[in-house]
Chain A
Amino acid sequence: MISQIFILSSKGDHLIYKDFRGEASKDSINVFYEMVTALSGDQTPVVMSHKDLHFIHVRQGGLYWVASTKTNPSPFTIIEFLNRLAALTKDYCGSLSEKSVRMNFALIYELLDEMVDFGYIQTTSTDILKNFIQTEAVSSKPFSLFDLSNVGLFGAETQQSKVAPSVAASRPIMSSRGEQSGKNEIFVDVIERLSVVIGSKGVLMKSDIQGEIRIKCFLPTSSEMRIGLNEELSIGKSQQKGYSSAVRVDECRFHQAVKLDEFDTFRILKVCPSQGEQTVMQYQLCDELPCAPPFQLFPSVQKDYVNRVLIFLKLRCDLPPKSTALNVSITVPVPKGSVSMSQELSSPDQTAELQPKNKALLWEIPRFPGGAQLSALFKVDVPGLSSASLLEVGPVSMSFELAKQTCSGLQIRFLRLAPTQTGLSQRWVRYVTHSDSYTIRI
Chain B
Amino acid sequence: MPYFGSEEMVKELKRALSNPNVQADRLRYKNYITKVIRYMTQGLDVSALFMDMVKASATVDIAQKKLVYLYMCTYASDKPDLALLAINTLRKDCADPNPMVRGLALRNMCNFRMPGMTEYIEQPIVAGLRDKASYVRRVAVLGCAKMHSLQPNTDIDGTIVNELYALLRDPDPVVVVNCLRALEEILKDEGGVVINKPIAHHLLNRMKDLDSWAQSEVLTFLLRYRPRSDDELFDILSLLDSFLQSAHAHVAVATLRLFLQLASAHPAVQADALLCTSAPLLATCGAASRELRFAGLCHVQQVMRSQPGLFGTHYKRFFCGYSEPTYIKFRKMEILVELVNDENVALVLEELRSYCTDVSPELAQAAIAAIGRIAQTYSEKCLDILTGLLALKQDHITSAVIQMFRDLVWFCPQSTAAVCQTVEACVDSPQDSEALLWLLGEHGDQISSAPYVMEGYIDGLKTELSSAVKMELLTASVKMFLCRPAETQDMLGRLLHYCIEEESDVCVRDRALLCYRLLQRGVEETRKVVTGPKSDPSMSVLTGRQEEPISQWASTFNTLGPLSGCDLCPQTAVISAADQPSSSAEKELLPESTDVTLSSPDDTEEEISLSLGPPLSHETFEKMWLDLEILQRQTMGFPRPRTALDTLQAALQLVKIQTLAFTPGATVPWKAYIYTRSTGTLILAELLQGDQHAPGIDESLVVSVKQQPVNQHAIRGFVSILKGVLQTLNVDSS
Q: Which residues of A contact B (CB under 8 A)?
A: 1, 13-19, 21-22, 26, 29, 40-49, 52, 54, 56-60, 70-77, 79-83, 105-106, 109-110, 113, 117-118, 120-125, 131-132, 134-135, 193, 195, 197, 199, 205-206, 208, 210, 251, 253-256, 279, 282, 284, 286-287, 331, 333, 336, 358-360, 386, 388-389, 391-392, 394-395, 397, 399, 436-439, 441
Contact = CB atoms under 8 A, between A and B. Distances in A.
A120 B359 CA distance: 43
A391 B291 contact: no
B600 interface: no
B659 interface: no
Interface in B12-53: 34, 37-38, 41-43
A76 B295 contact: yes
B247 A134 contact: no
B41 A15 contact: yes
B283 A253 contact: yes
Given A75-B559, A437-B322, A49 B41 contact: no
Interface stretch (B63-71, B163-171, B452-460, B667-675): B63-71
B714 interface: no
A41 B360 contact: yes
A22 B113 contact: yes
28 contacts: A19-B74, A22-B77, A29-B43, A42-B327, A42-B363, A44-B564, A47-B563, A47-B564, A54-B568, A56-B560, A58-B289, A59-B291, A71-B575, A74-B220, A74-B254, A77-B213, A81-B213, A113-B107, A123-B174, A193-B286, A206-B316, A210-B288, A253-B280, A256-B247, A331-B322, A336-B394, A391-B391, A399-B323
A54 B177 CA distance: 24
B327 A105 contact: no
A46 B294 CA distance: 8
Interface residues of B, number: 100
Interface stretch (B84-92, B579-587, B646-654): B579-587
B661 interface: no
A120 B178 contact: yes
A251 to B, nearest CB: 6
Given A44-B327, A83-B291, 12 more contacts: A29-B43, A46-B294, A70-B581, A71-B581, A77-B217, A77-B254, A113-B66, A131-B100, A134-B66, A210-B283, A336-B394, A436-B321
Contact of A134 (B62, B291, B294, B327): B62
B41 to A, nearest CB: 5
Interface string B263-299: 0000000000000000110111011111110110000
B366 interface: yes
Contacts of B248: 80
B216 interface: yes
A391 B394 CA distance: 12
Contacts of B77: 22
A208 B286 contact: yes
Nearest to A102: B38
A70 B100 contact: no
B443 interface: no
A105 B139 contact: no
Contacts of A389: 392
Contacts of B211: 123-125
Nearest to B347: A205
Contact of A135 (B63, B287, B360): B63
Contacts of B326: 41-42
B67 A132 contact: no
A46 B295 contact: yes
A176 B320 CA distance: 43
Nearest to A132: B100
B554 interface: no
B610 interface: no
Given A45-B327, A46-B563, A395-B354, A120 B142 contact: yes
Nearest to A396: B322
A72 B582 CA distance: 10
B301 interface: no
B249 interface: yes
B283 A70 contact: no
A390 B165 CA distance: 72
Give the most central of A29, A41, A44, A395: most B CB within 10 Å: A44
Nearest to B392: A388
Counting from the closest, the 8 A-B pairs by CB-CB distance are A437-B321, A76-B250, A388-B391, A397-B322, A134-B63, A44-B327, A121-B213, A253-B247
A358 B174 contact: no
Contacts of B217: 77, 120-121
B327 A109 contact: no
A391 B391 CA distance: 9
B63 A47 contact: no
Nearest to B575: A52
Contacts of B319: 195, 197, 206
A18 B249 CA distance: 26
Contacts of A210: 283, 286-288
Interface string B552-564: 0000001111111
Contacts of B250: 74, 76-77, 80
A118 B572 contact: no
A363 B323 CA distance: 16
Contacts of A44: 294, 327, 563-564
B637 interface: no
A287 B294 contact: no
A149 B294 CA distance: 41
Give the most central of A46, A193, A388: most B CB within 10 Å: A46
A135 B70 CA distance: 14
Given A49-B564, A197-B319, A208-B286, A75 B362 contact: no
A255 B247 contact: yes
A77 B60 CA distance: 36
B357 A333 contact: yes
A331 B323 CA distance: 11
B292 A76 contact: yes
Given A58-B291, A120-B178, A392-B357, A52 B579 contact: yes
Contacts of B294: 44, 46
A208 B292 contact: no
B406 interface: no
B354 A394 contact: yes
A171 to B, nearest CB: 21
Given A41-B362, A70-B575, A392-B392, A195 B321 contact: yes
Contacts of A57: 291
B681 interface: no
A120 B146 CA distance: 12
A284 B248 CA distance: 15
B393 interface: yes
B55 interface: no
A199 B350 contact: yes
Contacts of B66: 109-110, 113, 134
B70 A113 contact: yes
B37 A106 contact: yes
A46 B299 CA distance: 14
Given A54-B560, A76-B253, A282 B213 contact: no
Contact of A106 (B63, B280, B571): B63
B378 interface: no
B138 interface: yes
Interface in B647-696: none
A4 to B, nearest CB: 12
B145 A118 contact: yes
Give the most central of A13, A71, A255, A388: most B CB within 10 Å: A71
Contact of A256 (B61, B212, B292, B316): B212
